[in-house]
Amino acid sequence: MIPKAITGLQCHQCNWMIPADPFHYTCSKCGKNLDFIYDYDLIQKAWLKSDLLKNPDRSIWRYLPLLPVHHAPENTSLTVGGTPLVSLPKLSQDHHLSSFQIKDDTRNPSGSLKDRATELSIQHAREQGKDTLVAASTGNAGSSLAALTAYHGMQSIIFVPASAPPAKLTQIRQHGARLVPIDANYDAAFDLAFDWAKKEDQYSRNTGVNPILAEGKKTVALEIAEQRNWQAPDHIFIPVGDGCIISGVFKGFFDLLALGWIDHLPRLHAVQAEGSAAIVDSLTRGGEIMAVEADTIADSISVNRPRDGDKARRAILESGGTGFKINDIKIMEAQKTLASSTGIFAEPAAATAYAGFLQASAQGFFQPKDQVVVIVTGTGLKDIPAAQQGLGSIESVPADMALIEKYLASE
């Protein structure tokens, strides 16, 4: 077995180093978010790119030497990760690029990228001797936690605002998670879930605080690099709410650069909905991230106070990326354009990243040699009512061949 090369956890704010065991969610000195720190020399000595070629496991567990747990789970056959990197030569041509690809993370077990973080957090919880995971979520994180704890035979408790639409909770309830509908908003549910886990000595899978989650999410970057034969792209477009996904993507490429497996960081572009743009606004304005009153159709990135905002900002700035803001009409248009030009049906949040790419292209942002990747983080099937909003009504036609001919000719 390859030795575990975790040096410890470091606060991204005050740089304080703490050991990885016993585990802390946040900095024991200033309370800010932590990063896992690896001994890359040790990893380099024991793990080669060519080892990966021989590894038949397509799941995130093929990258175990770069993950902060001791073992892979006994059963990995459900296959979290290993999602397609879809090449789209026609779009590449249309936008005058050298290559255009979509990382289709709708193909995870519960339909979103969140499964990567959940899968790692479940194994981490198990190694910490815990059998119950707690989270606040009305969406992808909750359904991911419910699905994967069911698969791994663990328990989950999910705090939601009682006002959450019942359809959003159906997937969570089908998987048998314990649901706690709180008479309060999401921010309050978030804090209660965290406090509950602490009080009960259960594991917290609250997005944007626990550094394990970014470590799980970074596997999407490791896969993109490996699927591109270790040639990092020039640009990656990422939907941003709490900021945890872009932080994870950054961490993945950061690790690979430290290992010498890639030769540059891709520029990571944060795409936010206009109605929930706290992080992009802070880039434009400078200074601290300020909370907003979020209002957008892209519910997975609708966030008042980004819980991982500072690390997200660091990811954008250190990679040379930038920020884009997209209004809801453009988001809905991008959802349809994406589905009809690629076959990939994205949720509004994921379509937001594609809309950011379209906006960048229209602004002449790219060079002809550029290689671009858009990460599609979740499936459109989770929010059919949102997808219906962008479509007009349709008229029926009698069961008569001549009239059908006329109907089909009329467009």
| Touching its own copies, residues 157-176 (CB under 8 A) | 157, 162, 166-167, 169-171, 173-176
DSSP class of residue 226? H
SS3 48: coil
Minimum distance between the CB of residue 19 and its own copies, rounded to whole angstroms? 30
Nearer to its own copies by Cβ, of 13 and 98: the residue is: 98
- From the list 190, 253, 324, 345, which residue makes contact with its own copies (rule: CB under 8 A)? 345
145 to each of 31, 187, 240, 273, how far by Cα in Å?
25, 19, 20, 25
- From the list 37, 42, 52, 339, which residue makes contact with its own copies (rule: CB under 8 A)? 339
- Kindly state whether residue 150 participates in binding its own copies, applying the rule CB under 8 A: yes
**Residues of this chain, 362-381, that bind its own copies according to CB under 8 A:** 379-381
- Kindly state whether residue 61 participates in binding its own copies, applying the rule CB under 8 A: no
- From the list 33, 276, 335, 377, which residue makes contact with its own copies (rule: CB under 8 A)? 335
Extract the tokens encoding 155.
Answer: 């328990």
Q: Provide the b/e sequence for 349-379 (b: ≥16 CB within 10 Å).
A: bbbbbbbbbbbbbeeebbeeebbbbbbbbbb
Q: What are phi and psi of 324, to 5 degrees?
A: -130, 145
Minimum distance between the CB of residue 181 and its own copies, rounded to whole angstroms? 4
SS3 101: strand
Nearer to its own copies by Cβ, of 114 and 175: the residue is: 175
Please spell the DSSP secondary structure of 340-394, one letter per residue. Answer: HHHS--B-HHHHHHHHHHHHHHHTT---TT-EEEEEE-BBGGGGHHHHHHTS---
- From the list 4, 40, 42, 181, which residue makes contact with its own copies (rule: CB under 8 A)? 181
Minimum distance between the CB of residue 58 and its own copies, rounded to whole angstroms? 7
**Residues of this chain, 198-257, that bind its own copies according to CB under 8 A:** 199
Nearer to its own copies by Cβ, of 113 and 312: the residue is: 113
The residue type found at 248 is G
Which of 256, 245, 253, 264 shows the shortest CA–CA distance to 353? Answer: 245
Q: Per-residue contact track with its own copies, 20 to 59, x per CB under 8 A?
A: --------------------------------------x-
- Kindly state whether residue 2 participates in binding its own copies, applying the rule CB under 8 A: no
Which of 170, 174, 181 shows the shortest CA–CA distance to 149? Answer: 174
Nearer to its own copies by Cβ, of 184 and 258: the residue is: 184
C-beta separation of 289 from 306 below 8 A: yes
Binding range to its own copies, per CB under 8 A, among 123-131, 194-202, 262-270, 277-285: 194-202
Nearer to its own copies by Cβ, of 109 and 309: the residue is: 109
Nearer to its own copies by Cβ, of 211 and 380: the residue is: 380
